[in-house]
Amino acid sequence: MKTLNDYQIALDDVMEFIDNNLLEAKLREVEADYNANPSLLNKVRLGIIYHEVALNLGFFSKQYKGYAQKSLTILSECEANPETPEALQPFILSYEASAMALVAGETFKLSLIGKSFKLFETAIKKYGAVHYLPEFMRGSVAENLPWFYFSKRALAKIDFENIIRKEAQNPEYASWKIMSFVYWAWAKQHPQRKYRAQAIAYLQKAIELDPHYLAGRKRSEELLSQFTIDN
């Protein structure tokens, strides 16, 4: 029986893209894999890659409009499938909730934002103690909401701080890749001078974790440079 870590390894290559060229190449690969072998795992991979396409390309290219809904439909089907293993659900629920928020952004159906955060809450209650993804995805959505969602935007700070705390207690809780993004996100959320020393320390951690610029290093270096100028 596969574990959470097994599924993390199996899904890692379709999560968190910073290079759109690599994303488009991976999209073609994942679609081809699913067409050749429409297994449950390949279906989840397809739902996640569609989410990444919607997030990174959908708002800038007409070619990729509708991928958020494609992702939501696929992941909802995977969640409801009685054969879906429990260890796969944290990934499905987290990306499903985020896809729902992306659909809300594309269609202006703002009621979906509330549904998205209810699903995030379910995922965090069930799996937040054992896996970073529910809080990481909710924090990522929350920090990008319009200002009038101030109560939901406030969750971003809580979520990323929780991940940092849990990773400190258990270094296996989240990967170097995720922590690089999380440390950068925390620093970005705390630009005030009273947090400057901690923010700089976290940015330096984000940079050290990502020597090959595969995660949050570039953004961290840019923010660190800005903080240095401000000082």
The pLDDT of residue 60 is above 80:
no
Answer whether 103's CB lies under 8 Å from 68's CB. yes
Measured distance between the N- and C-terminal CA atoms of the chain, rounded to whole angstroms: 53
The DSSP secondary-structure symbol of 55 reads H
Which are the contacts of 127, defined by CB distance < 8 A and separation ≥ 6?
A: 89, 90, 93, 133, 134
Cα separation of 115 and 52, whole Å?
A: 20
Tell me the pLDDT tens digit for each residue of 10-38: 999 999 998 999 999 999 999 999 999 99
**pLDDT interval class at 148 (50, 70, 90):** confident
Question: What pLDDT does residue 64 have?
Answer: 87
Matching residue, tokens 């995805």: 137
Which are the contacts of 39, defined by CB distance < 8 A and separation ≥ 6?
A: none
**pLDDT interval class at 231 (50, 70, 90):** low
The reported pTM is 0.93
Please, what is the average pLDDT of the chain?
93
Answer whether 155's CB lies under 8 Å from 162's CB. no
Question: What pLDDT does residue 207 have?
Answer: 97
Burial (CB < 10 A; 0-12, 13-18, 19+), residue 67, is buried
The distance from CA 229 to its chain's CA centroid, rounded to whole angstroms, is 30
> What is the mean pLDDT of the segment spanning 204-211?
96
Max CA separation in the chain (angstroms): 56
The pLDDT of residue 169 is above 90:
yes
